[in-house]
Amino acid sequence: MHQTKQRVEEDLRLHPRSQLINKTKQSVEAGFIPAVTQSANTKHLQASRLTGGGPAGEDLRLHPRSRHLQASRLTGGGPAGEDLRPHPRSQRSQALIEFALVSPVLLLLLFGIVDIGRAVFYFDTLNHAAREGARTAVRSSGQLPNNADILATVTTQLIGAPVTAPCPQGPVTSATPPANAAWLYITEPNPPNTVEATPPPNAPGGEFAAVATGSCSARNPASGNRPLQVTLRFNLILITPVIAQATANRIVITAAAIFRTEY
C-alpha cells in the first residue's frame, strides 16, 4: 500500500502539467509572479473583451469606418453612400440592346437556311417531275401521249406549284416564268433558243404536225424511236433580303430529262 502511494506521487511529479503547476507555485512563493486567482483572470478577460482589448491591451474592435464600409457593401453603397448594385431595369435595357444587335444576324441566318432548303427541295422535285414527264412522253400505248398528258403528269409531281406550257415545243429561252411557277417544254435534245420553222422531231407521238406561230416553234411529232427532251423552268422567289438582292430577288431553276421514244 505504501509503495503504491509512492508510485502515484512519483508519477504526478514526473507529469509535465504537474511539473508546470509546481514551478508556478514555487515562482509565486518566491515573489516572481503575482498570485492572481482564476476568478480575477476571468474578470480581466471579460473586461478586455468589452473594451476591445487584446492580450497586450490593444483595441481589436472594428473601426467605425470599417463598420460603415461593411454595411455599405451589404447595401450596395459606394464611398459616397450611392447604391452601386446593378438595377433590374438597367439589366433589362442591356438585354434589349444586345438582342437588337444580335437579332438581325440570327434572322438572316434563319431565313437563309429556309431559302436554301426551299431551293434544294424544288431542285430535287423539278428533276423528278422532268423524269416522270419524259417517261410519259416516250411510252408506247394504244393511244400515244400528247402535250396535255405530259403536263398532267408534271403537275401531279409539282404539288402546290402551278405549271403551264405557253410554247410546248419551244424555243427554250431565258425568259422568266411567273413567281413560284414553272414552264414546261417538250422538244428535241438540246433545243435552240430561237423559233424553229422546220424542227427535228420535237413533240410526242400523239400530237399533230403544226407550223410555227408567233414566238413558238413548229410542231413535228416524234417516231422511229427518236429521243425527246422534257424541260422545266421554275422561278423561285426568295424571302431573305440580302440573298434576294444578290440574286435579283429570284433563282430560276432548270431541270431536264432525255428519254428515247418506245414508238
- The confidence band for 112, taking pLDDT boundaries of 50, 70 and 90, is confident
More confident residue, 27 or 152: 152
Q: Percent of the chain scored above 90 by pLDDT? A: 51
pLDDT at 175: 94
Summary mean pLDDT of the chain: 80
Residue 234 φ/ψ, nearest 5 degrees: -120, 135
170's CB contacts (< 8 A; 6+ apart) are: 185, 187, 191, 192, 195, 196, 199, 202, 216, 217
Residue 230 pLDDT greater than 70, yes or no: yes
Average pLDDT over residues 168-180: 95
pTM of model > 0.85: no
Average pLDDT over residues 205-215: 95
Handedness of CA 180, 181, 186, 192 (dihedral sign): negative
pLDDT at 104: 86
pLDDT at 49: 53
Under 8 Å between Cβ of 187 and 231: yes
> Reduced to 3 states, what is the DSSP secondary structure of residue 12?
helix
pLDDT at 36: 46
Average pLDDT over residues 172-179: 95
Under 8 Å between Cβ of 201 and 218: no
pLDDT at 12: 47
Average pLDDT over residues 177-199: 96
More confident residue, 41 or 130: 130
pLDDT at 209: 96
